[in-house]
Structure 1
Amino acid sequence: MTYLLNALSVILQLAFSLVATLFVLRLLAEASRADFHNPLSQFLYKATNPVLAPVRRVIPNWRRINLAAMLLAWLVMVLERAALFALMGVAPHIAGLLLLGAADLIDFVLLFYLVLIFGWSLLSMLQVDPYQPLMRLAAAIVEPLLRPLRGKLTAGTLDFSPMVVMLVLIVARILLARPLIDLGTALALGG
C-alpha cells in the first residue's frame, strides 16, 4: 500500500506544482515587467486570469507585486500539504499547515529562480536566439536578480554573476526555507 501512496503523492505534488508554477510565473513576470507581447506572457495571462480576475477585485496589486497571484500560489501550497497529510491519514493543526504553505512557497520560488537562472545561463552560453520567447521571458525574470552584480564579477567574457546568485539562492533555501518547513511540520504535527 505504501507504493501506491508514494505514487499518489508524486502525482499530487506534480499537479499542484504545475498550478503553482503558473501563478508564480505570473507574479514574477508582472514584477519584472516582462514583455506582454511575448506569446508565453500572453499564455500566462490567459491561463491565470480567469482565477485571478475575481481575486484582484478584492486584493489589488501592491506596487508591481500581484498580491492575488501570491495569495493563490500560497493557497495551492497549503492545499498540496493538506492533500499530502490526508494521504498519510494525519489531521494537521491549521497554524502549522498555513506556515508550511508559506515555507513551501518560499522554497518553491527560490528553487524556481535557481532552475531558471541555471537554464537561462546554459542557453545563453549555447548562444540560443535571445529573441526566442522563452529566452525573453526568462531574461526578464532573472535580470532583476542579476542586475546588481552584472559586470562586477567578470573574467574576460565570462560573467560569474549567475553563479553567485545561484549560490545565494541555495544558501537561502538552507537557512530560510528549510527551518521554516521544519517549524511548520512540527506545528502541523503538534510537536
Structure 2
Amino acid sequence: MPYLLNALSMLIQVAFGAIATLFLVRLLAEATRVDFHNPLSQFIYRYTNPVLAPIRRVLPNWRRINLAALLIVWLTMLLERVVIYGLAGYMPALPGLLVASLADLLDFVLLFYIIVIFGWSLLTMLSADPHQPVVRLAGTIVQPLLRPLRGKLVVGNIDFSPTVVVIILLLARMLLVAPLFDLGARLAQVG
C-alpha cells in the first residue's frame, strides 16, 4: 500500500507543480515585462487570465508584481500539502500548514529559477536561436538575477555569473527554506 501512496503522491505533486509553474511563469513574465508577442507568453496569458481576472479586481498588482498570481501559486502549494497529508491520514495544525506551504512556495520559486537559469545557460552555450520563444522567455525571466553580475565574472569567453547565481539560490534553499520547513513541521505537531 505505501507504494501506491507514493505513486499517487508523485502524480499529485506533478499536477499541482504544473499548475503552480503556469501561474509562476505568469507572475515572472509580468514582473520582467516579457514580450507579449512571444507565443509562449500568449499561451500563458490565455490560460491563466480566466482565473486571475476576477481575483485581480479584489487584489490588484503591486508595482509589477501580480499579487493574484502569487496568491494562486501559494494556494496551490497549500492545497497540495492538504491533499498529500489527507492521503496519509494526517492533518497538521493550521499554523504549521500555512508556514510549510509558504516554505513550499519559496522553495518552488528558487528551484524554478535554478532550472530556468541552467536551461537558459545550456541553450545559449549551444548557440540556440535567440529568437526562439523558449530562449526569449527564459532569457527575459533570468536577466534580473544575472544583471548585477553580468560581465564581472568572465574568464576567457565564459561568463560564470549564471553559476554564481545558481550557487546563491542553492544556499538560499539551505539557509532560508530549510529552517522555514523545520518551523512549519514544529508548528504542525503542536496542534
Question: TM class by shorter-chain length?
Answer: over 0.9
Report the AA paired with residue 34 of structure 2.
A
User: Normalising to structure 2: TM-score of the pair?
Assistant: 0.98
Corresponding residue for residue 19 of structure 1: 19
Q: Which residue of 2 aligns with 1:184?
A: 184
Report the number of matched residues: 191
Amino acid at match of 2:150: R
The 5 A counterparts of 1:31-50 are 31-50=31-50
Distance between the aligned counterparts of 1:89 and 1:179, measured in 2?
25
Superposition deviation, residue 189 in structure 1: 2.6
- In the other structure, the counterpart of 2:61 is 61
User: Matched residues in 2 for 1:47 and 1:160: separation?
Assistant: 36
Aligned to 1:93: 93
Matching residue of 1:136: 136
Letter in 2 for 1:28: L
Question: Aligned letter for 2:113?
Answer: Y
Q: What CA deviation, in whole Å up to 9, does each residue of 1:97-127 have, x standing for no partner?
A: 1111111000000000000000000110000
**Partner SS state of residue 52, structure 2:** helix
Question: Amino acid of the residue matched to residue 134 of structure 2?
Answer: L
Q: Report the counterpart of residue 171 of structure 1 in structure 2.
A: 171
Structure 1 residues 146-188: Cα deviation after superposition (integer angstroms, max 9, x where no partner) = 0000010001211000000000000000000111112112212
1:159 and 2:150 aligned: no
C-alpha distance in 1 between matches for 2:125 and 2:58: 44
Q: Is 1:70 aligned to residue 99 of structure 2?
A: no
3-state SS of the aligned residue for 1:64? coil
- Name the Cα RMSD after superposition: 0.8
Q: Percent identity?
A: 64
Distance (Å, rounded) in 2 between the aligned partners of 1:33 and 1:6: 39
Give CA-to-partner distance per residue, 1:68-98, whole Å, 9 cap, x none: 0000100000000001110110011111111
Residue 118 in 1 paired to residue 108 in 2?
no
Which residue does the alignment assign to 2:145? 145
Q: Which letter does structure 1 place at the counterpart of 2:181?
A: I
Corresponding residue of 2:107: 107
The Cα of 1:16 is off from its aligned counterpart by: 0.4
